[in-house]
Structure 1
Amino acid sequence: MMKTLQNQTLLYDEDCPLCQVYTTGFIKAKMLDENGRKSYCQLSENEQSFVDIKRASNEIALIDNQNKTVLYGIDSLLKVIGFSFPLIEKIGNLKPVKFFLKKLYSFISYNRKVIIPSTINKDVKLQCVPDFNYKYRFLFIGFASIITSIVLYYYAALLPVLPQAGSTREILIALGQLLFQSLFMLKSDKKTILNYAGNLMTVSLMGSLLLLPMLALQTVVNVPENITLAWFAITAFIMFIEHFRRVKILQLPTYLCFTWVAYRFIILLLILNY
C-alpha cells in the first residue's frame, strides 16, 4: 500500500487535461490526501503571499500547508512520487537524470498551450498560462517537424502514385508550410505567429501519429493501396477539423484553414509534376 503525503497541495492547471489526469491519479492512488490538489486560479490571498505565482504558472507547485513552503516543477513531482517510492526520488535527484527531467518538463510545460490549447477566460484574474519561451517553442516546432517528416517519408513509400524522394523533401514541406501560413499573418506580432506555428505543428504531429497504425499494419500484412490512400484521406480530414477548431480557439482568421488546404494542393501538384 502506498504511503500518503499529508498536508501537501499540488497546484494544477485546470485547462490542461494532462495536469488533471496525473494530479487526480496521485489522489486516487492515495499518494496525496483528498485535499492534495487545487486549481491554480483558486489560490487564496494568503497562499499568494508565499507562492511565486509566476513560477507556479510554469512549474507545478507543491504547497506544504503546515510550513508554508513551496516546491516547484520536477522537485514537487519527485517529492510526491518519492514519498511512496523513495528509490525513484533518489534516481530522479541524480544530477544528469534531474537535468534531463527538468529540460523535458520545461519542454512540455512551456508548450502545453500549443499542445492542448484553451480559451482564455478574461473574467478570471489568475490565469495559469506559462510564459512565452522562444527557445522551447522553436524546439517543439523542430521536434514536431522531424517526427512528421520521418512518418510521412515512410508512409509515402506505401503510395506508388507519389514519386519517391529523400527525407529532405518531407522536412522542406513541413517547414514550407510554416512559412506559407506565416505570409498570411504578417500583420500579427511574433508571439501570435509562433503560437499559431506551434498549434500548426501539433496538428501535423497528431496526423503523423494517426498514420502510425497503418505503417505498423503494413509490416505484418500487405495492405492494398486504396486502403492506405483512404486512411491518408481520413487523417487529412481529421487534421482539417482539428486545425479549424484551434484557429477558432486562437481567435485567428478562418481563411488560415483554407490557405492550409491550398498549400497541400500546391505541394501535391509540384510532387506529381516535377
Structure 2
Amino acid sequence: MKTLENQTLLYDEDCPLCQAYTTGFIKTGMLDKNGKKPFSNLTEEEHSFIDFKRASNEIALVDNKNKTVIYGIDSLLKVIGNSFPWIEKIGNIPPVKYLLKKLYSFISYNRKVIIPNQNTNTTALQCVPSFNYKYRIIYILFTLVITALTLHNFSNLITNLPQGNFGRELAIAFGQIVFQALFLLKIEKRNLVNYTGNLMTVSLAGALLLTPILLLNQFINIPQITILIWFALVVLFMFMEHSRRIKILRLPTILSYTWVIYRVIVLLVILTF
C-alpha cells in the first residue's frame, strides 16, 4: 500500500466501526503510525482551524503540514485513493459521490443508535453527531422493512403458525413502536425518537441472526425443533440487548417488560385468529 503521510484522521473513540477502519488504514499502511487520533485529544492549535461540529458528523482528515482539513467521504476517498487511484476517480463521479455522501450521512448520523455508548459527565471533548430527524426516520423505516421481510420468510418455516404475509409482519413491527411509545408519552420527542432508533436496531439484529437459518434452509431441510430453538435463542438475545440499551439510555426498566408483553399479545392474537 502507498502510505499517505502527515495526515491524521480524527475518529470517534466510542464508535467501534470508526476505530476499526481507522486502525485498518494504519495496519495496511495506507496511513502512517500517526494517521489516527481520538477526537477528544485535539490540541489548542487544532482548535483554531477544525470545524468541530462538522468533524462530529463527518470524520476529519487533517493535513498536519499545511494545517488544512477535509471531511467525510472526501477524507475516506483521499486515504483509499492514495493507494487505489481508480477508486477515488470512481468515487468522485458526481452521481456516485452523491450516493456515497448520502450513505455516509445515513450511517454517521445513526451510529449512536446502531452502537450506543454510555453518556458520561466528563468535560472532555466528545464526538457526538448532531441529531438529525430525517436520517433517523429513514433509518427506522429501513429497519422496519428489513425486519418485516425477514420475519415474514422465517414465520413460514414454523409449521404451527398460520400462514403470514409481509403486511402482517410490517404491522407487527410498527405496532411495537406504537406500543412502547405509550409508556414514554412524558419524555421529550427527541428522546422518544432516539429510543425508537435503538428499539429498531434490536429488531434488525434479530432479523440478521435469523437470516442464517433462512439461507441454510434453502439447501437442507432443517428440523422444526432446531428452528424453534434458534428462534427462542434470538428472542432471548434481543431481550438482553434491549435491556442493556435501556440502561445506557437511562430509561424506565419497565420498557423491557412491555417489550415482552407486546410480543406475547401478538403471538396469542396470531394463534387465535
The equivalent residue for 2:52 is 53
2:240 aligns with 241
- Tell me whether 1:87 sits opposite 2:72 in the alignment: no
> C-alpha separation between the residues in 2 aligned to 1:4 and 1:147?
39
Q: Which moved more, 1:67-76 or 1:216-225?
A: 216-225
Instruction: State the match for 1:68 in structure 2.
Output: 67
1:106 offset after TM fit, Å?
0.2
Shift of residue 161 of structure 1?
A: 1.1
Note the alpha carbon deviations across 1:38-80, whole angstroms, 9 max, x for none: 0001111110110000000000000001111100000000000
TM-score (norm 2): 0.99
Instruction: Classify the secondary structure of the residue corresponding to 1:11.
Output: strand
Q: Alpha-carbon deviation of 1:160?
A: 1.2
**Percent identity of paired positions between Structure 1 and Structure 2:** 63
Aligned-residue CA RMSD in angstroms?
Answer: 0.7
Paired residue secondary structure (2:183):
helix
| Contact 2:156-2:164 within 8 A present in 1 as well | no
Measure how far apart 1:125 and its partner are.
Answer: 3.0
State the distance in 2 between where 1:168 and 1:71 align.
Answer: 44
- The runs of at least 4 aligned residues of structure 1 exceeding 2 Å deviation read none
Establish whether residue 8 from structure 1 lines up as the match of residue 29 from structure 2: no
Using the alignment, how far apart are the partners of 2:254 and 2:43 within structure 1? Answer: 42
The residue number in structure 2 matching 1:162 is: 161
Structure 1 Cα separation of the partners of residues 209 and 23 of structure 2: 27
The aligned amino acid for 1:74 is I
- The one-letter code sitting in structure 2 at the alignment partner of 1:222 is N
Aligned AA (1:85): F
Aligned-partner residue type, residue 18 of structure 1: L
Contact 1:151 1:212 in 2 (8 A): yes
Residues 41, 124 of structure 1: 8 Å contact kept: no
- CA distance in 1: counterparts of 2:156 and 2:149, whole angstroms: 11
Indicate the SS of the match to 2:124: coil
How much has 1:124 moved relative to structure 2?
Answer: 3.2
Which residue does 1:189 correspond to in 2? 188
Instruction: Give the drift of 1:93.
Output: 0.2
- One-letter amino acid matched to 2:266: I
Aligned residue identity for 2:116: P
User: TM-score, normalised on structure 1?
Assistant: 0.99
Deviation of the 1:204 alpha carbon: 0.3
Q: How many residues align?
A: 273
Q: Is the 8 A contact 2:10 2:59 kept in 1?
A: yes
Gaps of 5+ in 2: none
